[in-house]
Structure 1
């Protein structure tokens, strides 16, 4: 059996229909976000994102204990003694949510598809930005194109941007093999330097996009991924047929050693590709469709703060 992503059972090809409007769903999420910010996160959300998101101020003499990464080597060479760049903290955070809406996200072995779980995660992140008075924008890319909403400030505009993201039509399963082109150059023109860029997607094994190293130098980049339980381990039991959207055919899962080995190779390749995109452990988040997404975000921010 080829090393392909876990197949989709026939009753899980399409995501579970939403039972409420996007705005109604976001209002429910907003209540949970506000509770988390006021009672659990406090200032850790902003501190976890701040990092070295600073704005250049002036060049000053280097003193013992200063960060050597701030040394201005051109000025140092010209004047014959060490000088460093002095930065001042930016007063606001610009947060860009990038959703890679690949057809493979419509995989779901349980009550919820990966796409629904990832949209919820994206909504939680955008609402965290709204509660903390940040500027928030979003980019949704699929095989059929992309939709960009430039960063805005305020609860109302951010809620409408998140609702527009929730309302995006899922790409057809027939486009499963088509690539998703994320317009990183366009994003670079819409987002100021030192913005927070959170890339949410399936992260199938593949090379880094062109210009990714430049994006990482310009922005604070993070990667969020949602996994289905079947992606962690193939279901055990009697053989059964399932639909594989990558090849467009039915396959029979027999729980054989060869299938388990192929699944393990695919899982390892995807994890390696994810780590290559986001080498810092505290810049990537993996949460299951069977896990609480807000709790996972809280743990993520706590871990980033502890690391700093």
Structure 2
């Protein structure tokens, strides 16, 4: 991708996702992802309905009138995006490819974070840690992240979510809010790593998939290629038995994934590339508010 084309794509995503985060997600994000506690803000005169436990007795005695301490939420969070950059992200048959949707979702979360004065960082992973971008604030930092989301070239093509979670758990000493964004097509078991990560941090999982990941079309003999291994084979998609076996594989894999999230108490959403990710994120944020 040349520099001009990349700049246009970055700008297009900025306009779309910044608008979403400002107009739709700002309140939901703030409510769903809480700060670390309450900190003292100021002292003001007592008003009807104030909690008497907040009365500042020293100031009250000096002023001969009741005053209360006012607290505000200690808002600043550290937000980490764990972004899958394996070969399967390039697949897109029913809508835009997964890479594009992953970039838009990540950018929306990033803009929502900086509007709430939170820091944002990224870990790109395949079956190894490809790149670590330390958490920072600011528009320039977000634009750098978007450029990397669109144009980053990994050294490997496989997927190892457990490795990414272990790295994040070791690298970040303070508790952070973490989004794992992936298609979760991974042959490794990531239950233990996810459980440990969510005990230390606040982990949310977002699956981005293509509906052709889940169901083969009936189009006769078709050559299929594994984008992560490069292996290919011919498949007779006209065979009902073949399509049924493929559907069962997808269903069982999804069931295992959801079971893992539930056992680890991790909130999650699954979004197809031809669907509106806005509704899915809104629903996810609202579920977090009700926890």
* TM-score interval (norm. to shorter): 0.7 to 0.9
CA distance in 2, matches of 1:226, 1:269: 17
TM-score of the superposed pair, with normalisation by structure 2: 0.74
Give runs of aligned pairs for residues 50-69 of structure 1, distance below 5 A. Answer: 50=34, 54=36
Of 166, 188, 200, 1:218 maps to 200
1:107 aligns with 2:91: yes
TM-score of the superposed pair, with normalisation by structure 1: 0.70
CA distance in 2, matches of 1:93, 1:194: 9
- Provide the aligned length of Structure 1 versus Structure 2: 255
Where structure 1 has 5 or more consecutive residues not aligned to the other structure, the ranges are 1-16, 58-87
Structure-2 residue corresponding to 1:276: 259
CA contact (8 A) 1:96 1:196 kept: yes
Of 205, 227, 235, 1:252 maps to 235
Runs of 4+ in structure 1 off by over 4 angstroms are 17-23, 178-181
CA distance in 2, matches of 1:56, 1:273: 39
Give runs of aligned pairs for residues 129-148 of structure 1, distance below 5 A. Answer: 129-143=113-127, 145-148=129-132
Bigger shift: 148-157 or 262-271?
A: 262-271
CA contact (8 A) 2:207 2:269 kept: yes
CA contact (8 A) 1:118 1:225 kept: no
Of 244, 256, 265, 2:248 maps to 265
Structure-2 residue corresponding to 1:300: 284
CA distance in 1, matches of 2:199, 2:265: 17
Structure-2 residue corresponding to 1:197: 178
Q: Deviations over 1:197-227 (max 9, x none)?
A: 1111121254225533221111111111111
The CA RMSD over aligned residues, in Å, is: 3.2
* SS state at 2:189 partner: coil
Q: Deviations over 1:153-179 (max 9, x none)?
A: 11212221332232211567xx55x75
* SS state at 1:290 partner: coil
Structure-2 residue corresponding to 1:208: 190
Of 163, 169, 184, 1:188 maps to 169
1:97 aligns with 2:78: no
* SS state at 1:187 partner: helix
CA distance in 2, matches of 1:244, 1:169: 20
1:234 aligns with 2:237: no
CA contact (8 A) 1:203 1:273 kept: no
* SS state at 1:43 partner: helix
CA contact (8 A) 2:205 2:266 kept: no
Structure-2 residue corresponding to 1:73: none
Structure with bigger gyration radius: 2
The one of the two structures with greater contact order (alpha-carbon pairs below 8 A, sep at least 6) is 1
Bigger shift: 178-187 or 295-304?
A: 178-187
Structure-2 residue corresponding to 1:285: 269
